[in-house]
Amino acid sequence: MTTHPCLSCGACCASFRVDFSVYESEDMGGPVPQGLVVALTEHLARMRGTDHARPRCAALTGQVGQQAACGIYEWRPSPCREFEAGSEACNRARQRHGLPALEGLV
């Protein structure tokens, strides 16, 4: 049995801005806990911490490249749900954190 590479990674959660519709936030009836949401505009929200000079989502637990997990996995916003391990963006994030590229996962 192999362990999923994301469990020892977390690089994407510490590389990019994570923006999503305000309707995904708790206050608007969505799943994303309000304390982790930064309101941007009337329509757009952002995961707290992802627009820092050295981005790191406030929901990320553990250490990037060692052991990492999303603290709100069941309630994470759509960009996180759609992000694909082994994609070009995934490998860019991994490279940024000194991790080797992944082959595409099915």
Size of the site for ligand SF4 (CB under 6 A): 22
> Rounded distance, CA 64 to CA 5, Å?
12
Q: Which residue has the tokens 């992944």?
A: 102
Task: Report, in angstroms and rounded to the nearest whole number, the Rg of the chain calculated over CA atoms.
Answer: 14
> Rounded distance, CA 70 to CA 93, Å?
16
> Rounded distance, CA 19 to CA 25, Å?
11
Does the protein bind ligand SF4 through residue 10 (CB under 6 A)?
yes
17, 38, 70, 96: residue in contact with ligand SF4 (rule CB under 6 A): 70
Does the protein bind ligand SF4 through residue 102 (CB under 6 A)?
yes
Segment near ligand SF4 (CB under 6 A); pick from 20-28, 38-46, 87-95: 87-95
Shortest spacing between CB 40 and ligand SF4, in angstroms = 15
Q: Which residue has the tokens 């206050």?
A: 27
Write out the residues near ligand SF4 by the rule CB under 6 A. 5-6, 9-13, 18, 47, 57, 59-60, 70, 72, 76, 80, 83, 85, 90, 93-94, 102
